[in-house]
Chain A
């Protein structure tokens, strides 16, 4: 059974960098693609970006090149860094397994989510 768990600071100051990690259990991180998705308070879901089989990455252009996703294969983890944060980046951040390109082309396994608030 594949499980994902997000971790990282719950509070980040404006203009600083948000850093989150997703630990994957039950699957090799090299065997799938992995995404970050966020949900601002009272809003819908927003895809942030993904890492494709530990190689390529793609991001939502709305983030204006502030996002970076990377993988640590030794720890079976992937991470999100979002620079120059503002209050608009306050959200629950989810990591998810991304089956893009598969028959079941969807986000089929999700972490529980972690709330990150941007405030001084």
Chain B
């Protein structure tokens, strides 16, 4: 099975900051990497698919990059609604697996 590791596990930042979250796969997954945003008590929402493609309706301040084993999610200028937990997920091989999540908190 492919293991997904996110770093950091938690992160404090302020509105307007530029934030980067990293996801590493235990083996190469090409570009089969998705990012989700989850607020407390809510279901995850798809942000980015195929490592760098923005899902419909997602603000352009979100971007993704990477391929192979190393990926990043960047929020260019944090907005109040962006404080949430972010999950990466690989779709390269079964069973599909998620990272442990990165909690983004307000400083």
Q: Mark B72-107, 1 if CB is under 8 A from A, else 0.
A: 000000000000000101010011111111000000
Say whether A32 faces chain B, with CB atoms less than 8 Å apart: no
Q: Are B95 and A112 interface neighbours, CB within 8 A? A: no
When the two chains form the complex, which single residue of B50, B91, B98, B99 contacts A100, counting CB atoms closer than 8 Å? Answer: B91
A84, B44: Cα distance in complex, Å: 28
Q: Give the Cβ gap from B91 to chain A, nearest Cβ, in Å.
A: 5
Q: Which of B1, B36, B49 contacts A104 (CB 8 A)?
A: B49
A103 at the interface (CB under 8 A from B): yes
Q: Is the interface of B mostly helix, strand, loop or mixed?
A: loop
Please encode chain B, from 22 to 36, with 1 for each CB lying within 8 Å of some chain A CB and 0 for all others.
000000000010101
B44 interface neighbour in A45, A61, A62, Cβ under 8 Å: A45
Given contacts A100-B91, A104-B53, A105-B91, contact A47 B43 (CB under 8 A): no
Contact A47 B97 (CB under 8 A): yes
B91 with A44: CB separation less than 8 A:
no
Instruction: List the A side residues contacting B49 at CB < 8 Å.
Output: 104-106, 108
* B11 adjacent to chain A (CB < 8 Å): no
Given the known interface contacts A44-B100, A44-B101, A45-B89, the answer about A108 and B95 at a Cβ–Cβ threshold of 8 Å is no
With both chains docked as a complex, state the minimum distance between the C-beta of A110 and any C-beta of chain B, in angstroms: 4
Of A45, A59, A61, A111, the contact of B98 (CB 8 Å cutoff): A45
Tell me whether B18 is interfacial, beta carbon within 8 Å.
no
The answer to whether B87 touches A44, judged by C-beta atoms less than 8 angstroms apart, is yes
Other than A107-B46, A111-B43, give 6 A-B pairs with Cβ distance below 8 A. Answer: A45-B89, A47-B97, A100-B91, A106-B46, A107-B36, A110-B44
Q: Which residues of A contact B (CB under 8 A)?
A: 43-47, 58-62, 94, 100, 103-108, 110-113
* Residues in B lying within 8 Å of A, measured CB to CB: 1, 32, 34, 36, 42-46, 49-50, 53, 55, 87, 89, 91, 94-101
Please, could you name 27 A-B residue pairs with CB atoms under 8 Å apart, sorted by A?
A44-B99, A44-B100, A44-B101, A45-B87, A45-B101, A47-B95, A58-B94, A61-B1, A61-B95, A94-B43, A100-B96, A104-B49, A104-B53, A104-B55, A105-B32, A105-B34, A105-B50, A106-B89, A106-B91, A107-B36, A107-B44, A108-B46, A108-B49, A110-B44, A111-B43, A112-B42, A113-B43
